[in-house]
Structure 1
Amino acid sequence: MNRNAFFIVGLFWTCQLLATTSLLAQSKSPTSPAKPNIVLIIADDLGWKDVGFMGSTFYETPNLDRLAAQGMKFTTAYTAAANCAPSRACLFSGQYSPRHGIYTVANADRGDAKTRKLIPVKNNEVLPDSVYTLTEALRDAGYQTASIGKWHLGKSPTTQGFIYNRAGDERGMNKHFSPYGIPTLPDGPPGEYLTDRLTNEALTFLDQPRDRPNAARPFFLYLPYYAVHTPLQAPDSLVKKYERKPKSPGHNHATYAAMIESLDSNVGRILKKLEALGLDQNTIVIFTSDNGGIRSISRQDPIRAGKGSYYEGGVRVPLVVRWPGIVAAGSTSQTPVINLDYYPTFLDILKRPKPSQPLDGISILPLLTGKSVAERPFFWHFPIYLEAYDQQTDNGRDPLFRTRLGSTIRLGDWKLHEYFEDNALELYNLKTDLGEQHNIASENPAVVKKLHTLLQNWRAKQAAFIPTERNPAYVAP
């Protein structure tokens, strides 16, 4: 073989060696994929303070506390609605409720007709397929998409961008032990616990081959547990544990605590699997709740009221984001954020264009990377009635309803509530009155005027329904 032939053969094997070395380096590198995987875990009706990392000493959440220690905890995280279906619709559409028409679960004229002064909006119960959802945007960016758990926005999440569905349909609540009676989830052995089963399904999805080691197709795993929604049901061994445990003021329900511990343990299983598969370093993990908790079950003091109310207890939720190498471990953000922000944030992370439809949130990627975002208003519109859970403990505006028809705006430390039945305005300074106990509207007319004008302009821009028709069944007290 002549010198040129030796040179060519040597060059060939050198190139092969370099290519192999490069591939091995990519397979060993946890950050080699260009796009991060996304795991979005949503608890159902979990209150703002119902986890250890937000201050509870009765509920035990070691896995969630560890997740918070590894990522960023948000102390002022909101949902765009105070109950299940509209909160989820806002998250996936990136839009406030007036745009998609989902304001509540089922009918909007809840409570005794004799006590309702106005005719509420006609509620939409299905997120229209015409909406280009967050999931469809991720699917079109090359993501494998899976929904495992509660859907509550129509018959199936597969019409909204999800390829893989387990346990999701139009229903919003379910019993927590098998047989489940969920068409898209075969029943397990009698007595199997639903939270455990949903995690098993999620682990099966994570174990599926997906072009590793290059991870050319990242995944979006949406894991909306049915827990801790009523009916309150949990394994007996855990319930007995909390029956023996010393109670905390407002945190003292043994079955509810057992449901939280089970939820926490199953989140731990997900985190452990990500680590075992070498995916944890390139996976964004988000944990939050769809809305506030039920106050008669678990109080969120000092914040007021709970699920279904537009006081802080109905819309403020726990939120943790972990993204190794991007989000500083053990960090905390006090900047208000809302679940409308997830959609534009993911688009920003992936450098994807915004859809043609409006998005009402902003990218909070700057917050995740230690920067700031400009102060902005937050809005809630609820032309609906939601009856009280418990007249003695709900701590709403009146004992009959968690909410009556109205709108709310927060800007900075100020929060203004407007009620359509009596045109009343309530103003609170959340910095000095987080519990919204002292209405200071009469003492701050300039603030009221500014916020009310912003609220009215926002409603006009959203084409929000304003109820004016009187209810003929109403009986004045």
Structure 2
Amino acid sequence: MRLVASLFLCLFFSLQAADKPNILLILSDDQAWTDYSFMEHEQIKTPHLDKLASESVLFKRAYVPTALCRPSLMTFATGKYVHQHGITGNDPKGDSKNPNDPDLRESLISKVDQHDTLAKLLGEQGYLSHQSGKWWEGNYKRGGFTHGMTRGYPQKGGRHGDDGLKIGRTGNKPVTDFVDMAIEKKKPFFLWYAPFMPHTPHTPPNRILDKYKKYDLPLPVAKYYAMCEWFDEACGDLIQHLEDKGVRDNTLIVYVCDNGWIQHPEKANRYDQRSKQTAYEGGTRTPIFFSWPNKLKPQDRPELCTSLDIFPTIIAAAGARMPKNLPGLDLNSYMIEKKEIPRDHIFGEGFAHDIVDISDHEKTLLYRWVIKGNYKLLLTYDGKVSKYISTHPRTEKRPQLFDLSKDPAEHNNIAKDHPEKVAELAKMINDWYPVTKRKVITEFK
């Protein structure tokens, strides 16, 4: 009887693995939305991602709701806004530490325990999961992964990925070995593939860097461009492994970047203004695309997309338990049936790099923003900013309104000339969720 039951379970999980898609979530780290050849960059070459994008449902007008790595990654993992999941910055540097909870780093990490994560929900469906690259929330097991590379805090060096940060830069063997094991066990798998690339340090191999030196670029810019191509190579290597193993057709690949990056032309490994940590396009915009050969036909979609959509789309594709009241959309039916997505606006928010009070996220609120149609309104708040930040995210404090159809680089603030549009969009922001302790800066001086 036990033998029959065991055979039944093996058959059940084998059928389950065949029915459910494998999932690969590719997370770029610090890369501007313009910095791919499929996004028409004139110099950066990304042939592997170009090919993947051409096979995908591609959203070129897509965004992350916050432009800082740790909060953004937590949004990928939970499907929630920063003010909902509570990890607003990279590091806790509080001035109001609870005497009953002296370890601020552990207290911040513990917020991941309060939410359903992608890996946890997929695990309920029999998925094996692997974490590689950037991961801030302690050991990989804490995020619900069955396998992974990051030892995590409080282990030595366990801040934002430790051993996991080797992936891509030193090859993909830990991930490809995991894929081989999952295939052998006939299990569906989920890959959190988040190389520390093109993130600093910008140390591309000379064979790639030499290509960009020919353009007579400032060396810091040439190195960053070469990092983008090196990252593309790493992605191509992993995708080729899926092809070689015969599982590519039933693998849902999702691509997104955690936040933007505009390389400073003179300072190596530093970003320029209106870039990372800001609400400008250079900080928040990213291409997002979904490739699943068994289900999705290639499409170039004009609608707004947000990284909040990634979580429910993956969960629904896997047939997993869907948490209630998620702010993002399950895009599966819209992509499969090529239906128009019924949404004309998206929201975002930004907080300081350092968290002064992990129990009160408003203390470091810097900005909130909305895009409706072609208009984008950015409101700035008086939250506390650590001295750590080298490029101040509040270079302009008054309300900023841009018509992105005419001014995609956001050079011309038209707020003063369109007070009715500012009022309309500001009301949308205030109706989205209330801010009670921070003052919005409203002067048009």
- The Cα shift of 1:371 comes to 1.6
Which of 352, 355, 359 pairs up with 2:323? 355
* Deviation sequence 1:308-343 (CA, Å, 0-9, x none): 1101110001323211132223x2112111111111
Q: Give runs of aligned pairs for residues 255-266 of structure 1, distance below 5 A.
A: 255-266=223-234
- The Cα shift of 1:440 comes to 2.0
Say whether the 8 Å CA contact 1:144–1:218 is kept in structure 2: yes
Which of 427, 433, 440 pairs up with 2:414? 440
* Deviation sequence 1:216-247 (CA, Å, 0-9, x none): x211011100011112112233223322x225
Q: Are 1:68 and 2:41 an aligned pair? A: no
Say whether the 8 Å CA contact 2:59–2:287 is kept in structure 1: yes
Q: Give runs of aligned pairs for residues 175-186 of structure 1, distance below 5 A.
A: 184=163
Letter in 2 for 1:322: S
> 1:427 maps to which residue?
401
* Deviation sequence 1:273-331 (CA, Å, 0-9, x none): 11111101100112221111134269xxxxx82111101110001323211132223x2
Q: Are 1:150 and 2:121 an aligned pair? A: no
Runs of 4+ displaced beyond 4 Å? 122-125, 181-185
C-alpha distance in 1 between matches for 2:91 and 2:115: 20
> 1:368 maps to which residue?
335
> 1:219 maps to which residue?
189
Identity over the aligned pairs, expressed in percent?
28
C-alpha distance in 2 between matches for 1:436 and 1:372: 27
Say whether the 8 Å CA contact 2:278–2:350 is kept in structure 1: no
C-alpha distance in 1 between matches for 2:201 and 2:163: 20
Asked which structure has the greater CA Rg, the reply is 1
**Distance of aligned partners of 1:168 and 1:223 in 2 relative to their CA distance in 1, 3 Å threshold:** farther
Q: Secondary structure at the match of 2:402?
A: strand
**Distance of aligned partners of 1:194 and 1:283 in 2 relative to their CA distance in 1, 3 Å threshold:** closer
**Distance of aligned partners of 1:315 and 1:138 in 2 relative to their CA distance in 1, 3 Å threshold:** same
Q: Give runs of aligned pairs for residues 284-299 of structure 1, distance below 5 A.
A: 284-296=252-264
Q: Secondary structure at the match of 1:263?
A: helix
Letter in 1 for 2:371: R
* Deviation sequence 1:377-403 (CA, Å, 0-9, x none): 3222234378xxxxxxxxxxxxxxxx9
Q: Are 1:40 and 2:7 an aligned pair? A: no
Q: Secondary structure at the match of 1:447?
A: helix
- The Cα shift of 1:132 comes to 1.0
- The Cα shift of 1:146 comes to 0.7
C-alpha distance in 1 between matches for 2:169 and 2:163: 16
RMSD over equivalenced CA pairs, Å: 3.5
Q: Secondary structure at the match of 1:380?
A: strand
Q: Are 1:458 and 2:432 an aligned pair? A: yes
C-alpha distance in 2 between matches for 1:284 and 1:155: 27
- The Cα shift of 1:252 comes to 7.5
Q: Are 1:282 and 2:267 an aligned pair? A: no
Q: Secondary structure at the match of 2:25?
A: strand
Which of 52, 76, 85 pairs up with 1:91? 76
Q: Can you give the 5+ residue segments of structure 1 that lack an aligned partner in the other structure?
A: 1-22, 110-121, 175-180, 188-192, 299-303, 387-402, 470-477
Q: Give runs of aligned pairs for residues 107-256 of structure 1, distance below 5 A.
A: 107=92, 125-126=108-109, 127-152=111-136, 154-167=137-150, 169=152, 184=163, 195-197=168-170, 199-210=172-183, 215=186, 217-243=187-213, 245-247=214-216, 253-256=221-224
Say whether the 8 Å CA contact 2:61–2:303 is kept in structure 1: yes
> 1:409 maps to which residue?
370
Q: Can you give the 5+ residue segments of structure 2 that lack an aligned partner in the other structure?
A: 1-10, 95-103, 267-272, 355-363, 383-395, 441-445
- The Cα shift of 1:184 comes to 4.3
C-alpha distance in 2 between matches for 1:408 and 1:424: 13
Which of 260, 272, 279 pairs up with 1:310? 279
Aligned residues: 387
C-alpha distance in 1 between matches for 2:167 and 2:112: 28
C-alpha distance in 2 between matches for 1:306 and 1:197: 28
C-alpha distance in 1 between matches for 2:316 and 2:92: 36
Q: Are 1:328 and 2:289 an aligned pair? A: no
Quick check: 409-418 or 78-87, which moved more?
409-418
Which of 339, 349, 354 pairs up with 1:381? 349
**Distance of aligned partners of 1:467 and 1:383 in 2 relative to their CA distance in 1, 3 Å threshold:** farther
Q: Secondary structure at the match of 2:120?
A: helix
Q: Secondary structure at the match of 2:199?
A: coil
C-alpha distance in 2 between matches for 1:182 and 1:157: 9
Say whether the 8 Å CA contact 2:64–2:72 is kept in structure 1: yes
Say whether the 8 Å CA contact 1:307–1:313 is kept in structure 2: yes
Q: Give runs of aligned pairs for residues 49-60 of structure 1, distance below 5 A.
A: 49-60=34-45
C-alpha distance in 1 between matches for 2:220 and 2:296: 34
C-alpha distance in 1 between matches for 2:381 and 2:405: 26
